[in-house]
Amino acid sequence: MIVLGIESSCDETGLAIYDTERGLLGHALHSQVAMHEEYGGVVPELASRDHIRRVIPLLKETLAQSAIELAQVDAIAYTQGPGLAGALLVGASVATSIALALDKPVLGVHHLEGHLLSPLLDKVRPEFPFIALLVSGGHTQLMRVDGVGQYALLGETVDDAAGEAFDKSAKLLGLGYPGGPAISRLAEFGDPSAYKFPRPMLHSKDLNFSFSGLKTAVLTASKAHSTEDAVCEQNKANLARGFVDAIVDVLTAKCLRALQETGLKRLVIAGGVGANAQLRASLNAAAKKKRFTVFYPPLQFCTDNGAMIAFAVAMRLQKNPALAVKDYAFTVRPKWPLAELG
């Protein structure tokens, strides 16, 4: 079965073709980061318009890479939510139009299900069941995954998402948008003993997270010390280091708690923050010490992409072929709790 996937929930237009026999055949992506940068965040209307401009050229590129004709596709997948309404509508309407033209089934998929299953795109795949830490710009959740469509929420953030904390703290340090990768790079030059920021909810007896206090701590500390002159470049790096160490400690500790509570030995990291080098180093060290295995999606599939969307639908259709309906009325779900997925 060959599935075409379209991702357009936020600021990346991603297309991919996944074949259940041969694996990923091709994928193409356009990131709007440069366009949104001057505004310090995603501007929804600009995002939708750019998805419209990019989607067809990216489709052509994906087909060329895959060396197949559009007519050979068996089903079309798109991100139905959560995300920006206008942006989601671009993917949904293009996917449905193609399906209608080809007389093929079309399926909307939950963006986070795509992230959750993305480590299975790798050659070394985790077996079910596993614990998944979903850490993206909008979500921070610990899930127990027993199979495709079998997800149980174990804990989540009570305020900011981890990616949001990265982005907001980076902005405070003048690092631009999205700040996650930049603050992570700067932290490499920081002194780990300069700042000890709070580790929110580290010792709470649950699997929830809270990151807004950490961002405030970075703000207070950055106001207390000028970050303007050259000497203070070092101070900025120290602040970055203090922030990264704190957030990584909390994320690692909660993953360990989830593994301990469930008795599972496999941990999957998904979502944009999963690309973070310090988080990976910390989890790898913990895995060695506590004897569990940690899986990451291929780096290029940590952040938003079409491959995870095509893949999630391919997995769903393999499990339940009755889902392959030719219903061309579509809707998007900008707010769609993952818990509602069956």
- Of 132-151, which residues contact Zn ion (CB under 5 A)? 136
Q: What tokens were used for 158?
A: 């009570």
Nearest distance in Å: CB 251, ligand KG4? 11
Binding residue for Zn ion, selected from 304, 307, 336, 338, defined by CB under 5 A: 304
- 80 binds ligand KG4 per the rule CB under 6 A: no
> For residue 140, what are the β-bridge partners?
135
- What tokens does 259 get? 């593994």
Instruction: Based on the shown chain and the rule CB under 6 A, indicate whether residue 155 belongs to the binding site for ligand KG4.
Output: no
CA quadruple 157, 162, 168, 173: dihedral, nearest 10: 140
Question: Is residue 114 part of the contact set for ligand KG4 (CB under 6 A)?
Answer: no
What distances in angstroms separate CA 328 from CA 100, 102, 303, 334, 341, one per listed residue? 7, 12, 29, 19, 21
Could you tell me the smallest distance in angstroms from the CB atom of residue 210 to ligand KG4?
17
138 binds, among ligand KG4, Zn ion, none (CB under 5 to 8 A by kind): ligand KG4
Rounded Cα distance, 102 and 96, in Å: 10
Q: Is 282 in the site for Zn ion (CB under 5 A)?
A: no
Q: Closest distance between Zn ion and the C-beta of residue 136, in Å?
A: 4
Cα 154 to chain centroid distance, Å, stands at: 18
Token code pair at residue 239: 């602040």
Cβ(341)–Cβ(109) below 8 Å:
no
- Establish if 113 lies at the interface with ligand KG4 (CB under 6 A): no
User: Which one, 86 or 137, has the nearer CB to ligand KG4?
Assistant: 137
Q: Are strands 75-81 and 2-7 parallel, antiparallel or unpaired?
A: parallel
| 167 near ligand KG4, judged by CB under 6 A | yes
The two structure tokens encoding residue 336: 């769609």
Site for ligand KG4 in 259-318 (CB under 6 A): 271-273, 275-276, 303-304
Binding of ligand KG4 by 138 (CB under 6 A):
yes
Q: Interface residues with ligand KG4 (CB under 6 A)?
A: 10, 136-138, 163, 166-167, 178-181, 184, 271-273, 275-276, 303-304
